[in-house]
Amino acid sequence: MATTAERGRQVRQRLLRAAAELIAERGWTAVSTRMAAERAGVAAGLVHYHFGSVQALLGEAALGVIRAVAADAGPALRRARGPGELVDLLLAALDGFSGTDPVSLLFTETYLAATRDPVLRAALAEVTGAARAEIAARLAEFGVAAPHRAAATLTAAVDGVMLHRALDPDLTAANVAPVLRAMLQGAGRTGSAPQTDSRAGGRG
């Protein structure tokens, strides 16, 4: 038999899953306490018991999904053998998102909500900042000049591709990668010897 603590964790997870689904389906501002509770199959009062407010629930649910997407990109970052290959692998990971799928819609809704909610904005900035720092560390290893600025620009571009793909399905990895690879080349190199990509004759 599950303990009280285990039941509480199960309720929290059900509410987080329900909130993530509803953000994508209904939009951030349309999700109510009752709606989230009904989707999770729990009493409405448990939303406030576990999260304090429906906004706190939505924020934790959305950030959890965004952290998971960033974590999934980690192996690609570590596998890349040059900046160009890093771009290719990051964009290839996005080809599973159409722009209208639930994860893409959740990203869009969360970014919009963060413009009006300073607490959510700070939490989202922390998550995206951690992803940028990991990318910057790899770019520094590859000898890219100003790696933190390059990483900030690259992650903004990748996010933009994900958000705009609903409007322009041609924003595929194959079409976007050459542009972003050229951008990194234009950023220049530090004094260390540049590392080459695995593609024949290509440098990132």
pLDDT for position 145: 86
pLDDT for position 172: 86
d(CA 154, CA 14): 34
Domain range for 88 is 4-186
pLDDT for position 170: 87
204 part of a folded domain = no
59 part of a folded domain = yes
Per-residue pLDDT reduced to its tens digit, 114-153: 999 999 999 999 999 998 999 999 999 999 988 999 999 9
d(CA 95, CA 5): 39
pLDDT for position 75: 82
Number of other CB atoms surrounding residue 184 within 10 Å: 25
pLDDT for position 184: 83
**Residue ranges, the chain, pLDDT below 50:** 192-204
174 part of a folded domain = yes
89 part of a folded domain = yes
CATH number at residue 32: 1.10.357.10
Alpha-carbon separation of residue 23 from 161, 165, 182, 198 (angstroms): 20, 19, 36, 40
198 part of a folded domain = no
- Counting the structural domains of the chain, the total is 1
